[in-house]
Amino acid sequence: MRVGLVAGEVSGDLLGGGLIEAIRARHPDAQFEGVGGNTMRAAGMDCWYDAEALAVMGLTEVLAHLPRLLRLRRDLVRRWTAQPPDVLVGIDAPDFNLGLELKLRRRGVRTVHYVSPSVWAWRQRRVRKVRRACDRVLCLLPFEPAFYADHGVPADFVGHPLAQRISPESDIAAARAALSIAGDGPVLAVLPGSRLGEIGRLGADFAAAAQQFSAAHPGATVLVPLATPAGADAFRAIVAELGVGDKFRVSVGDARACMAACDLLLMASGTATLEGLLHGRPMVVAYRLATSTYRILRAFNLVKLKHFSLPNLLTPEPLVTEVLQDDVTPERLARELSALVSSPERASAMRSAFREAHTLLARNADERAAELVLATATAT
């Protein structure tokens, strides 16, 4: 069996690695090829391109990368038209993958899209393209299949693999010992995003907010885990310019360890907020789009949700403070973080709701996704 996979950025690479392992447990001789990252390579995939090649977000931001992305997609279509895989799995990166899936499905390749695009939240008309492009959609969130059912798209809730790997009762003392964190002050983990564009738009405000928080809470420790060395270098340059470079512990690739060790989180909206929820850590979530992208979204009323962070979409009531666009200032962020420290009741309510969401998401997602991918590949 040959499985084509196309994953975008770090989160997609992690999902792809787990999927590969689960498929191989059922088909030891299965072959995997396409676009992936280090996790998928380690699982035995033949990566023609790196997942980071697809790490582009936004409406206007994509334009600069469009010629390169179109060349990459044309090459994948050429390869898989000449030698079709038994099934193609596009993991996240919907603006790239849905077009690829559509072209290959028209050529007779069975297609699965893993991680539903947020069509229920914005640009809802994309569901028409999903219907044309995909034999099946694998959803990480429990409310998504109902939306697709209303539009005639086969979709299944598989849960999230991280819900199996992250304990809701993690040992915070052991996590701090592993990172050599001492003292009784609050531990803040700052995650300004995995993409360089996100770090560029949020990094300075996050750094200044963390500095203000530290000044208000003597003995505080600030951890800044970045997804890539390039991201860490970009953030170090920001804090050096602000003159606070010696105040933070900047690292690469240990976000999960830092979340386990912290008391609270300051995060860019995205997949990482789900990890924060699974760790049960109170958080403040912020985001800033490119100005042109934000103006387009507002002008055409393309956003249909009141809340944009995953934790607020998974809990019965919104508990996480969300700060968007021009409201993202160091003063506002620092104030919201301090409010969490000074209100243990609110932090406790967050942790309780997060535990319930954790249970909901624990569905052995890797195994369930593998079953559905194989069922799609062998459907008659």
| Higher per-residue pLDDT: 326 or 137 | 137
Question: How high is the pLDDT of residue 103?
Answer: 98
Domain enclosing residue 225, as ranges: 165-361
pLDDT in tens, 121-173: 556 778 999 999 999 999 999 989 999 999 999 999 999 999 998 987 778 99
pLDDT at residue 296 in the model: 60
Asked whether the predicted pLDDT for residue 273 surpasses 50, the reply is: yes
DSSP assigned state of 109: -
Percent of the chain with pLDDT strictly greater than 90: 74
What's residue 59's pLDDT? 46
Mean pLDDT, to the nearest integer, of 216-234?
A: 94
Whether residue 297 is predicted with pLDDT greater than 80 in this model: the reply is no
Question: What three-state secondary structure class fits 193?
Answer: coil
**89 and 46 within one domain:** yes
Nearest Cα neighbor of 376 from 3, 110, 32, 11 is: 110
Residues 60 and 200 in one domain: no
Based on the domain organization, do 14 and 148 belong to the same domain?
yes
Per-residue confidence at 56, pLDDT binned at 50, 70, 90?
A: low
Mean pLDDT for 72-77 is: 97
221 forms bridges with which residues in the sheet?
187
Residues 305 and 332 in one domain: yes
Q: What integer is the mean pLDDT of 54-64?
A: 57
Mean pLDDT for all residues in the chain? 90
pLDDT for the residue 121: 58
Listing DSSP states for 303-371 in one string gives B--S--SHHHHHSSS--SEEEEGGG--HHHHHHHHHHHHH-HHHHHHHHHHHHHHHHHH-S-HHHHHHH
Tell me: do 211 and 317 sit in the same domain: yes
Give the separation between CA 266 and CA 337, rounded to whole angstroms. 8
Question: What CATH number should be reported for the domain holding residue 297?
Answer: 3.40.50.2000
Cβ of 343: how many Cβ atoms within 10 Å?
12
The answer on pLDDT for 305 being more than 60 is no
Q: Same domain, yes or no, for 354 and 368? A: no
For position 53, what pLDDT does the model report? 80
What pLDDT, on a 0 to 100 scale, did the predictor assign at position 11? 83
Distances (CA, A) of 7 to 109, 165, 367: 18, 20, 18
Query: Pairing relation of β-strands 155-157 and 136-139?
Result: parallel
Taking residues 252-276, what's their average pLDDT? 94
Q: What is the pLDDT of residue 295?
A: 63
Q: How many distinct structural domains can be found in the chain? A: 2
Higher pLDDT, 125 or 104: 104
Kindly report the pTM of this predicted structure.
Answer: 0.79
Assess whether 343 and 370 both reside in one domain. Answer: no
Q: Are residues 222 and 89 in the same domain?
A: no
Q: State whether 179 and 308 are in the same domain.
A: yes
Q: State yes or no: pLDDT of 272 exceeds 70.
A: yes
> Looking at the predicted structure, is the pLDDT value of residue 58 above 50?
no
Per-residue pLDDT of 22-41, as tens digits, reads: 999 999 999 999 999 999 99
Contact criterion met (CB below 8 Å) for 8 and 91 = yes
368 and 336 within one domain? no
Is 91 found in the same domain as 122? yes
Percent of residues, the chain, with pLDDT higher than 70: 92
Q: Are residue 172 and residue 312 in the same domain, yes or no? A: yes
Amino acid in position 24 = R
Tell me how crowded residue 237 is: count the other CB atoms within 10 A of its CB: 13
